[in-house]
Amino acid sequence: MATDIEGRVSLEEIREELLDCDSVEERLSYLIEIGATLPAFPPEQCVEENRVLGCQSMVWLVPHIEHEKIHFSATSDAPMVRGLIAILIAAYSGQSASEILQFPMDAFFGEIKLQTFITPMRSNGLHSMIMRVKAIARANEVALSSGMTIKAHPIERTAKTPIRTIQSALADFPILKREHTSGQRLVYLDSAASSQRPRQVIDAMSRVYAEHYSNVHRSGHELAAETTSAMESARNSIARFINVPELESIVLTSGTTGSINLVARAWGDANVKAGDEILLTEMEHHSNIVPWQQLAERTGAVIRWLPIRDDYQLDIDRLSEFLSSRTKMVAFTAVSNVLGTINPIQTLVKAAQSVGSRVLVDAAQAIPHGAVDVQAMDADFVVFSGHKMLGPTGIGVLYGKPAHLESMPPFLGGGNMIKSVSVTGFVPADIPHRFEAGTAPIVEAIGMRPAVEFLESIGEDQIIEHERSLVREVHRRFANEKKIKIYGPAVEAKNGIVTFTIDGLHPDEVGRRLDAQGIAIRVGHHCAMPLHARLKLASSCRASFYLYNTLEDVKRFCDAVERLIK
């Protein structure tokens, strides 16, 4: 069998030999034969970051860049799959990125009648390998021009340009068309608790259950390959949306709460000791308070609290009073879920870094508006939930700088988070999978991609300006109502949240009466009891506006509140 200088069998020879075979058995034997010609693959490169997901067998693939050409080395634990790899190596290795992307592989497979002698499961795995090769090629086009180093798991960086208006998006939310039991159209003003979902998210999740649901990263059959590919595609979309440079730094969790608990356990238990300090702010959600209090209880660390000013913004001028060499973690919300206050993230991050502290940003209230760029933030950890950004419940994201994630032990043990297990112990998987124990929230994760793409189709600027136009009108309408007190900064310093109280009316009564008119708001302490104590409140009313609300919603809401007062 003839090979070239790299030891490859030529594509032309593969074509001729396969066409000369008279039976399926002969073709499969030939695949095994050419698979045996692959160069030895270093065992140390058989790691999770080099594994191609979606294949029935274990497949590892590594790119090497040389003089604007991409060379590939790969192997599998299945002899026949190594034959398929040999075909891909013959077609792609040693080519430029553009040559790889332009190569008519489907036409070649048609010539050799590939589908007549490999199973659908093998075919699907082959497709996964081709997708990985093409993703590497696409990333390399950018990497070569900027001097970046190519990643084994490149992120698709194609920017999503806003293509729709707010008005055109309103029709995509079926639940908002329902008639309330009052006989009126529903006005939903509780998006800070949980947003509604567009039909694109609902349909995508239904398709998984109806067409290809299976567990992921395990089985090698066709359904498993399709579902794994869809889930990893969603991870890629999330990474692009928040401008993450490494796909491995995106850990899929159960939500913001799960993400913070993961950090408090896996990072906190290994790095915080008695006498160390954790700095929080007075406006934090309980999810960004209780895990740190539990860590303090376990370790003897001390919680400190950065106060807010009377204008409902953090007292940044006093920040230096609360930071020292003892500060190990600064955890704060990007946007207050009660006040709507948009915090100065970079100022807080830089101040924390100046004393050597790690930083966690709770972006749950920021991500729905598109205002999250983890590279610009430079925080060590960023967390958020899908259900506040048009996505499903039960799915969240932890972004962590790779060096931190690599140093953290697994928080939960079980399936999927290991490389190997024996009677004497286990070896954890590489990031991010070491933090994704058990069966993943598969359908929920897949539902994140259409949620991200929906937000991208509108764009951050349009979303924020729309929300502020609604909030400005609420502030204008309530400005002369002496019985109404609004808690929060000026409109330009916050997002779409209006938290208020009405003299003489308990928030529960306000919420009940508005609900009777088809208007849904949130009442209570909004999982922020320390903030309410600071404001000398037991509870409050919160109307949170989002991209699918309208000026007519504002009118209905304000008219109803004014009737309550009168």
Residue of 21, 46, 527, 558 with catalytic role: 527
User: Residues 223, 217: contact at Cβ < 8 Å?
Assistant: no
Q: Which amino acid is at 187?
A: V
21 catalytic residue (yes or no)? no
How far lies 252's CA from each of 396, 407, 463, in Å? 6, 18, 25
DSSP string, 75-114: EESSHHHHHHHHHHHHHHTTB-HHHHHH--HHHHHHHTTG
Distance from C-alpha of 562 to C-alpha of 317, rounded to nearest angstrom: 38
Cα dihedral value 171, 165, 554, 450, nearest 10: 60
Cα dihedral value 16, 19, 25, 29, nearest 10: 10
Residue 314: count other Cβ atoms within 10 Å of its Cβ: 22
DSSP string, 501-514: EETTB-HHHHHHHH
Distance from C-alpha of 260 to C-alpha of 165, rounded to nearest angstrom: 34
What residue spans of 328-427 are helical by DSSP H? Answer: 345-354, 374-377, 402-407
Residue 487: count other Cβ atoms within 10 Å of its Cβ: 22
- The dihedral built from the CA positions of residue 121, 47, 140 and 38, taken in this order, carries a sign that is negative
User: Residues 141, 157: contact at Cβ < 8 Å?
Assistant: no
99: which residues sit within 8 A by CB, 6+ positions away?
Answer: none
Distance from C-alpha of 376 to C-alpha of 41, rounded to nearest angstrom: 38
Distance from C-alpha of 16 to C-alpha of 347, rounded to nearest angstrom: 65
Active-site residues, by number, are 527
